[in-house]
Amino acid sequence: MNLDAVIFVPALTGSVIVGFVFLMFVAHYYLSVLEGTSAGAKEIPWEGDAITNNFIKVFYLAWLMGLWAGPAYFVGRAIASGSDAAWIKLAAPLLVIWVLYPLSQLASLSASSVWVPMNLDVFARLAQKPLVTLGFFALTLPVFALIGIAFKWAYMTRGEFPLLFAGVPLLCFAVLLYARLLGRLAFALMFTKNLFKRKKKKKPKREVEEFDAEPDEEAPPLQPSEMAPINTPDGELAGYNVLMEDDPPAPKKRVKAVVVEDEPEGPEPVLRLAPEPPPLPAHVKPAADRPLERARVWDDDDDDTTPYTMNPSEVKDEERIPQEVAKPRADEMALLDRRDVPKPPKVVWSWELLVFLLQPGTISALIVMSGLGTLAGVFVRVARAFDPTLGSE
């Protein structure tokens, strides 16, 4: 009884499930390095994320690479058709992806949506930094070669488990290193000019419609006599008219001139003088105690020189904030200092790019990816060993 199919199906299922989980973690760590480096960070800010959030990242990277995987496959087949060398079938697609994939990734980072695979602005920015662009392709060529060799060792060989244990860590290392280099290129291009930026057109000013200042004359209200009467048992009933207008203003009194006739001359009347009123008592000025009051000129409006007394405030003083609370911390002041604003790099390609490999987060990421990748490779090897379609090969 042949049990190859019994072993092959579980091994194939395990390779698919574990392989997809492996790709989820690879996509998460790859984008973390890429986005952190493109923002100008010297060290990668590793942050924990739920595994379910990494699900869409696999399809995002598959979309960007899948655009060139089809052309790369046909180019590889065309080149390898006249040759028996097996490595050409793997090298030709890698060369196509090595040239075209960075364009899609840079366009995705700079576009309004991450799903946009191409943008003319990328070509304009790369043309402004020709030496940086050439340096990127020169540095990533051996990295891509390492990716191809490690992938072949890990997943394209039958048996030979030592190649699996050596190929998976090299593959994970090369993927993170490529993300670091591509992110550095994106950071350098951030300080170039956008030649295809559209200027916003100013909206035309709306013409203000002129309205008549004088309001329309309202129709006079209807009087009860003008309305239909109300039918009642006693007959039709109508109301009295109401005076709606304001009362007319009162007439102004007019002064009339009257002609007075001259009176006959007679003896002049005797003028009698009224007795003079008694004099008022003199206002006694209070004696000034202070020298400033002595020099002051007093008048009749000054009634009292007694100063006002100061009473304690009836409002309770507010509770004072402790100095520890009122004084901001150093990390809070750093937010206003803006020292962390990214500046144009003086040297784009330097040995500082490899410092992130010594971070604990990077080492942890390499261990997780290597473990999952090795487990996926074991399932692939078992499935290939018991594949009933291969026969006795």
Query: Long-range contacts of range 223-228, CB-CB < 8 Å, 24 or more positions apart?
Result: none
Angle CA 148–152–156, to nearest 5: 145
Confidence of residue 338 (pLDDT cuts 50, 70, 90): low
In a domain, 379, yes or no: yes
Name the least confident of 45-59, 68-82, 118-132: 68-82
Query: What pLDDT does residue 164 have?
Result: 93
Instruction: Write out the H or E segment, with its range, that includes residue 64.
Output: helix 55-80
Q: What value does the mean pLDDT take over residues 223-239?
A: 80
- Cα-based distances in Å from 259 to 111, 256, 265, 360: 101, 10, 18, 120
Q: What value does the mean pLDDT take over residues 353-360?
A: 92
Taking the C-alpha atoms of residue 296 and residue 305, their distance in angstroms, rounded to an integer, is: 11
Whether the full predicted model's pTM is greater than 0.75, yes or no, is no
In a domain, 218, yes or no: no
Query: What pLDDT does residue 296 have?
Result: 62
Task: Assess contact for 117 and 64: CB atoms under 8 A.
Answer: yes
Angle CA 139–166–73, to nearest 5: 60
* DSSP state letter for 237: E
Query: What pLDDT does residue 203 have?
Result: 66
What does the pLDDT look like over 234-274, one tens digit per residue?
778 777 777 766 666 667 666 666 665 655 555 655 555 55
Q: Phi and psi dihedrals of 325, rounded to 5?
A: -85, -40
In a domain, 125, yes or no: yes
In a domain, 297, yes or no: no
How many domains is the chain built from?
A: 1
In a domain, 75, yes or no: yes
Query: What pLDDT does residue 54 have?
Result: 87
- Is the confidence at residue 212, as pLDDT, over 60? no
Residue 350 structure tokens: 């330097």
Residue with more model confidence, 223 or 183: 183
Task: Assess contact for 93 and 72: CB atoms under 8 A.
Answer: yes
In a domain, 266, yes or no: no
- Is the confidence at residue 388, as pLDDT, over 70? yes
Query: What pLDDT does residue 89 have?
Result: 75
Taking the C-alpha atoms of residue 327 and residue 1, their distance in angstroms, rounded to an integer, is: 81
Q: What value does the mean pLDDT take over residues 46-58?
A: 84
> Tokens 């009176």 appear where?
263
Name the least confident of 127-131, 146-150, 332-336: 332-336
In a domain, 162, yes or no: yes
- Is the confidence at residue 339, as pLDDT, over 70? no
In a domain, 327, yes or no: no
Q: What value does the mean pLDDT take over residues 81-108?
A: 83
Taking the C-alpha atoms of residue 74 and residue 96, their distance in angstroms, rounded to an integer, is: 10
Taking the C-alpha atoms of residue 168 and residue 375, their distance in angstroms, rounded to an integer, is: 10
Query: What pLDDT does residue 231 have?
Result: 81
Q: Give CA 252 to chain center in angstroms.
A: 73
For 180, the domain range is: 4-193+347-390
Confidence of residue 4 (pLDDT cuts 50, 70, 90): confident
Task: Assess contact for 35 and 42: CB atoms under 8 A.
Answer: no
Name the least confident of 175-184, 299-308, 327-336: 299-308
